[in-house]
Chain A
Amino acid sequence: MTNSMNSVKARWAAQMRGMFPDARLKKDRGTEMTYEILPRDLHQILAYLKNSGWRQLSMITGVDWIEEGQFELVYNLFDWEQGLRVLLSIRIGRDKPQVLTITNIYAGAQYYEREIHEFFGIEFIGNEDALKSLFLERWDALPPLRKDFDSRAYSDKKYVKRFYDPVYGPQGGAPFERS
């Protein structure tokens, strides 16, 4: 990493600190910085970042912190000119999780929000398309990436399994027949 880039980054970080005192720099890995922010600051910060070069929303991820009773949403932004990645993480309550949509800033967030709604059950206020199913058509249980969802039990209940006693060695192997 060059010195000039370092100085650009330092100047930008100072500016960010001045504008958003609530944003806490959690981790700095050189080309990747993680900020913990408050949900109410999200749109301001995203709008500011989009105007200062972070034009690409790489992805949105969800994390389920079941012991703390919280969901974490990580917004992953990338600036192609400086090669800098910024991760913004917000925490929301786990029961009846709701967050405002960001499709008005980054239109590409549509599919990420749909996916997160499907896998975590987080509701995006203002984005009605996020209610449509994306991968799990006709899903009939808890959102599957929540920590209290038991994948094994669901699979055992729903799908037909194949049971056979494995016979090892050259003679072995159960013949497959159409049942």
Chain B
Amino acid sequence: MPKKQLPSRFYPVKHEMQTVEAPAEKISPQQRAETWEKIAQYFRANSLWMLNYCTGCCAIELPLVMTSRFDMERLGMMPMATPRQADILLVTGYASLKTLRRLIYTYEQMGTPKYVVAFGPCAVNGGIYHDAYAVLNRLDLYLPVDLYIAGCMPKPEAVMSGFMKLIELIESGKATGWKDYEQRYEWYKKNQLEAVGEVFIHDEFHE
């Protein structure tokens, strides 16, 4: 139960002398960096290239989002072929033991700033695969997730609104998963090693 607040007229009006600071002669480097960051955020938000790497069944919704009916390109989003070129990593569904190693490889190959969008409940708590022997339950322990899109699978409308939300987050500077990954790199690495034993990939295509 919140405390009942008195209307403002019951408070004594308090007059305080306010000191007005004279405008600085020069723009400080920090201010300049902030302005530059704001401009950069506008460009980052409006030109998102997503990586065509899809892990689970939610990926089937992406062709609908790309093509004529929902048309992702009007938000400035495009599918890209390689992690070097891409800005968003879409984890469309569950991450299994084998996939997680590749996901980490892929994520670390992308240039910053980069964002991770997770689809469906599987990335949150395992979803319907919560008791499967090879499905990692919580994605956010291993990769910094910026946005979850709900639904099993999320409808194209939900995906579009999720992408618009992501644009909003980036433009307001709240999508800072990549900074988090850099700052708490040891913590993420520890979790990854606990889950998959070794992040290095051993198979005939990598050896």
Contacts and interface: CB of A to CB of B under 8 A. Distances in A.
- Please determine if A and B sit in direct contact within the complex, based on CB atoms under 8 angstroms apart: yes
Contact of A138 (B133, B138, B198): B198
B158 to A, nearest CB: 16
B130 A155 contact: yes
Nearest to B140: A178
B132 interface: yes
Given A159-B195, A162-B137, A136 B131 contact: no
Interface in A74-103: none
A29 interface: no
Contacts of B203: 137
B46 interface: no
B41 interface: no
Contacts, number: 67
Q: Which of B96, B132, B135 has the most CB of A within 10 A?
A: B132
B135 A176 contact: no
Interface residues of B, number: 30
Contacts of B130: 155, 161
Interface string B117-149: 000000011100011111111101100100010
A154 B130 CA distance: 11
A176 B148 CA distance: 9
Contacts of B197: 138, 140
B101 A155 contact: no
Given A160-B141, A178-B180, A144 B196 contact: no
B203 to A, nearest CB: 8
Nearest to B184: A178
B97 interface: yes
Contacts of B124: 162, 176
Contacts of A40: none
B98 interface: yes
A169 to B, nearest CB: 16
Give the dominant DSSP class at A's interface.
loop
Interface string A106-131: 00000000000000000000000000
Contacts of A156: 131
A90 to B, nearest CB: 26
A135 B132 CA distance: 14
Interface in B87-127: 96-98, 101, 124-126
A149 B180 CA distance: 38
B135 A155 contact: yes
Given A161-B125, A162-B124, A176-B148, A136 B134 contact: yes
B103 to A, nearest CB: 14
Interface of B: 96-98, 101, 124-126, 130-138, 140-141, 144, 148, 180, 191, 195-198, 201-204
Given A132-B204, A137-B97, A179-B140, 17 more contacts: A135-B98, A135-B134, A136-B97, A138-B197, A138-B198, A144-B134, A152-B131, A154-B133, A155-B130, A155-B135, A156-B131, A159-B135, A160-B141, A160-B195, A161-B125, A162-B126, A176-B140
14 contacts: A132-B204, A135-B96, A135-B98, A137-B101, A144-B133, A144-B134, A149-B133, A151-B131, A151-B132, A155-B131, A158-B195, A159-B138, A160-B141, A162-B125
